[in-house]
Amino acid sequence: MTQTFAFTVNGRQVSVALDNEETPLLAVLRNELGLMGTRFGCGLEQCGCCMVLIDGQPEKCCAKPVWAVAGKSVTTIEGLGNAERPHPLQQAFIDEQAGQCGYCLSGIIVSAKALLDRNPQPSRAEIAEALDGNICRCGSHNRILRAVEKAAAAMKAGVST
């Protein structure tokens, strides 16, 4: 039986009609809404490739049923910024060339955004701990840590978010 689910994505009200209310949010973002920036990594809530903000909190969405976000506000990597108006984190990741394959980066940048929202001046150890739920297999960790530090400094200095 088709059901309709309404929620907000990147500030935009959306409504999707689905036969299966257990459809994961990730599948809805990618297949129904065409937002490909949130990646599928495991489907097991283990790797962090699918990290999004739900009402401001970082959550893995590969196994989260869409009914659980009805009426809530979802922010994906596409909602942070774009090439014309990059979020300071996105700019810092480019400046530091913080990535290799880049498949993990959407989730990592979203996790870092959640960290900086609650702790604008984290230590390197705090950044690392906040990213322990995100796996990077290529070994770009130190560049990523530097990029988050750089973004935090830029945001403190008043670069707009």
Partner 1 sequence: MNAPSQIPLPGPLADNPNFDRWLDFSSPGHVTVLTGRVEFGQGVLTAMAQLAADELDIDPSRITVVGGDTALTPNEGYTAGSWSMQAGGVALRQACADARLLFTAQAAAVLNCKADALAVSDGKFLRNGAATGLDYWTLAAAIDLTVTATGAGKRKPVSALKNIGTSMARLDLPGKVFGASAFIHDMTMPGMVHARVVRQPNKSARIGAIDEAAIKRAAKGRIDFVRTGDFLAILGDDETAVDLAAAASGQHVKWQHVELPVAAQQEAAWLLQRPAIDKVIGEPEPADPQGRERFEATYTRGYLAHASISPSCGLALYQDGRLTVWTHCQGVFPLRGALARTLKLDAASITVHHVQGSGCYGHNGADDAAADAAIIAMQKPGTPIRVRWGREEEFVYEPKTPSMVVKVRALVGADGKPSDWTAEIWSATHNGRPGSGNNLLGAYALPEFPPDPPPHDVPEAGGGGGTRNATPLYDIAQTRIIHHLVPETPIRVSSFRGLGAMPNVFALESAIDELAERAGRDPLAYRLSIASNPRVRGVLEKVGAMAKWQAGAPPGTGIGRGIAFAQYKNKAGYAAVVVELEVEEEIRLRHVWCAADAGLVVNPDGTLNQIEGGIIQSASWVMKEQVRFDGEAQNCGIASYDWETYPVLKFSEIPPIDIELINTKDETPLGVGELTAGPTAAAIGNALSHALGTRIRDLPLTRERIMAALLK
Answer for which of 11, 15, 17, 19 binds partner 1 (CB under 8 A) is 19
- Separation of alpha carbons 109 and 124, rounded Å: 15
Residue 137 is a binding residue for partner 1 (CB under 8 A): yes
Residue 145 is a binding residue for partner 1 (CB under 8 A): yes
DSSP 121: S
Question: Which positions ≥6 away from 12 have C-beta within 8 Å?
Answer: none
3-state secondary structure of 22: coil
- Separation of alpha carbons 40 and 132, rounded Å: 18
Q: How far apart are CB 70 and partner 1 at their closest, in Å?
A: 17
List the beta bridge partners of residue 15: 6
Residue 7 vs 87, nearer CB to partner 1: 87
Answer for which of 3, 78, 149, 159 binds partner 1 (CB under 8 A) is 78
- Separation of alpha carbons 4 and 124, rounded Å: 43
Instruction: Identify the helix (H) or strand (E) that includes residue 33.
Output: none
What is the contact mask toward partner 1 in residues 94 to 123, using x (rule: CB under 8 A)?
x--x-xxxxxxxx--x--------------
Residue 14 is a binding residue for partner 1 (CB under 8 A): no
In the complex, which residues of this chain contact partner 1 (CB under 8 A)?
A: 19-20, 22-24, 27, 30-31, 35-44, 46-47, 49, 76-78, 81-83, 86, 90, 93-94, 97, 99-106, 109, 125, 127-129, 131-132, 134-145
